[in-house]
Structure 1
């Protein structure tokens, strides 16, 4: 890991790793919680994360697809840094108005690189990739800020989506010391 990435891991961990008593989605109680929205809401950390993603984007990327909710601010910042257009991918198409799944532009025939904040199993990314493919998009890569998946837990290889990450859970744990 480069010095810049080690510093980014340290700063994200210091900002987002909370200590206390937290009920997790599973119902278990933990004395630690990682609040990803704290780095996404911090303009300097958000810019640093997006800047670290620039060189990770596949060269053929035509559109950035920010996944609801956490991928949207990152995709917006990344779009600003690269000049690539962004679309914002809902978990499901809205039932009114345009009834679109992807807001902000057309994806038909375009190479869309998905942008996500944190990946654990990849279920949301898989669902977005499949839905965008149904709309004519070519989706084969997701670039994420943090990959916290355990080996073999990702569902993405089964749908031919590769994951590229800025940091891993191990990087953040190492930064925490």
Structure 2
């Protein structure tokens, strides 16, 4: 829990998480916005986050249980690239749609039938982009059973991935972050309640 407390404080102080009224990419309304694309601008915290990810994967499933990391552009790909260098594992990524020139493929990188991969992304909301990527991987006979995100917004991604036989892991979920900020008096009771209601919808 020490990581969550320190990470939450960092997110708040650097305005990586903001509370208010926001419209997400999906068009959905939200009482908060978290933009992890800002984290690489702070190398020490970025490396701490990547090392935490490495440790969690090592403890949960073991670093030898998979052949390659996989991600989706762009937010998750930066994190996955840093992690791939740390653990010396290959990295592939899945485009949201196949490119319309050259090889016209949707999966970039060296792949082979039956390879085992672990998905890395930054934030999970409904799981949409990751779900599409997992389907592309399964179509290519690539085995995927685990996905790791930094922040789980707890708005359906767990269930969506479970239906595809993939377990979603996160370094922190939005309630843990919000509680940590509330305990440290960064946010008021009403904000905590708004976030809780948003998750329950």
| Interval containing the TM-score (normalised by the shorter chain) | 0.7 to 0.9
| Residue of structure 2 in register with 1:5 after alignment | 4
Q: What per-residue deviation string (whole Å, max 9, x for no partner) do you get for residues 108-157 of structure 1?
A: 32101000101112122111111111112101110111111147873111
Match of 1:89 among 90, 94, 100: 94
| Residue of structure 2 in register with 1:46 after alignment | 46
- Which is helix-richer, 1 or 2? 2
- Distance in 2 (alpha carbons) for counterparts of 1:113 and 1:61: 7
* Aligned ranges 1:19-168 → 2 under 5 Å: 22-25=22-25, 26=27, 28=29, 32-57=32-57, 58-59=61-62, 60-150=65-155, 154-168=159-173
Aligned length: 175
In terms of mean alpha carbon deviation, does 42-51 or 132-141 score higher? 42-51
- Give the direction of change, closer, same or farther, for the CA distance of 1:34–1:101 in structure 2 (3 Å limit): same
Rg: which structure is higher? 2
TM-score (norm 2): 0.77
- Distance in 1 (alpha carbons) for counterparts of 2:130 and 2:28: 24
Shift of 1:77: 0.6
- Give the direction of change, closer, same or farther, for the CA distance of 1:75–1:6 in structure 2 (3 Å limit): same
Alignment root-mean-square deviation, CA: 2.3
| Residue of structure 2 in register with 1:17 after alignment | 17
- Give the direction of change, closer, same or farther, for the CA distance of 1:138–1:70 in structure 2 (3 Å limit): same
Instruction: Flag structure 2 segments of 5+ consecutive residues without an equivalent.
Output: 183-201
Shift of 1:22: 4.3
- Give the direction of change, closer, same or farther, for the CA distance of 1:93–1:28 in structure 2 (3 Å limit): same
